[in-house]
Amino acid sequence: MEDLYHLVTVADGQKDSAAIMEVMQKIYDGKLKNDLNLLNFIREVPVSFKATLENVADDRIELSVHQNQAVMLKHDKFTLIRSSHFPHDYGVHAYVALANPTKGKAILVRFAYAQIRAERRTAVRVQIHRAMPGTFSGASGTIAGNMLDISVGGVSLKVKNKAGGEPEDKGRFRCSLPTGEIDVSARFLKFISSEDACKAVFVIEPDSKVETAISQFIFNEQIEIIKELKERFV
């Protein structure tokens, strides 16, 4: 989750928490507009719904939330809160003391400011946790492997070694998604090595048809994972 958000300090931990609770109290009292939205991620795909304050105590808040969000809260044990009332366009990180998907209720505690890095992305991506082959063919050769993630602007492959391409090499990327065949102009960016894998990263330039197929795949993945979580927690 480190690439999705990181915690920040404005004054100090205690003062920041007090300032956040002051905003919550003003929203609850009707002095500020209720624009709270909760944000969680499924394989880096955002799940975000509006939330309504039901009660504010010294160190916790009670919310009415969407059932899908409650499922995510029960699974993740934390959430990110977005509101225009927080300073510097920060979000707020909060831990989940209670989440009831059936009743659509949640209690959040331990608040801190957070910079939500994922919101700066130009495209939502989804991680892929099953074997889905992809191939890049460029002037320097071919790079093939199983897809690790995909968005309408990029894709990465798990490959055996650093072979088959040079940075900025242009070519075509091809794969088969359940929502359609993908054959797009692409540019190889780099290899990233880790202890157990080598990752090849590409920029892709889809037309409207391919973009629709990728967007539908991302949406379907989100729905399937929420369905799985509901079977566990609801």
Higher pLDDT residue, 7 or 195? 7
How does DSSP classify residue 65? -
Taking the CA atoms of 115, 190, 42 and 213 in sequence, report the sign of the dihedral they define. positive
Instruction: Output the CATH code of domain 125-228.
Output: 2.40.10.220
Specify the residue for token string 């492997």: 145
In this predicted model, which residue has the larger pLDDT, 221 or 133?
133
Averaged confidence pLDDT in the chain: 91
Tokens of residue 132, six digits:
């889905």
| Domains 6-120 and 125-228 belong to one CATH topology | yes
Q: How far apart are the first and last CA of the chain?
A: 25
Mean pLDDT of 28-50: 91
**CA 37 – CA 57 distance, rounded (Å):** 19
Domain spans of the chain? 6-120, 125-228
CB 96 within 8 A of CB 77: yes
**CATH match of 6-120 with 2.40.10:** yes
Helix (H, G, I), strand (E, B) or coil at 173: strand
Return the SS3 of 222. helix
Token pair in block for residue 179: 């929502």
How far apart (Å, rounded) are the C-alpha atoms in residues 204 and 189? 10
pLDDT tens, residue by residue, 69-85: 999 999 999 999 999 99
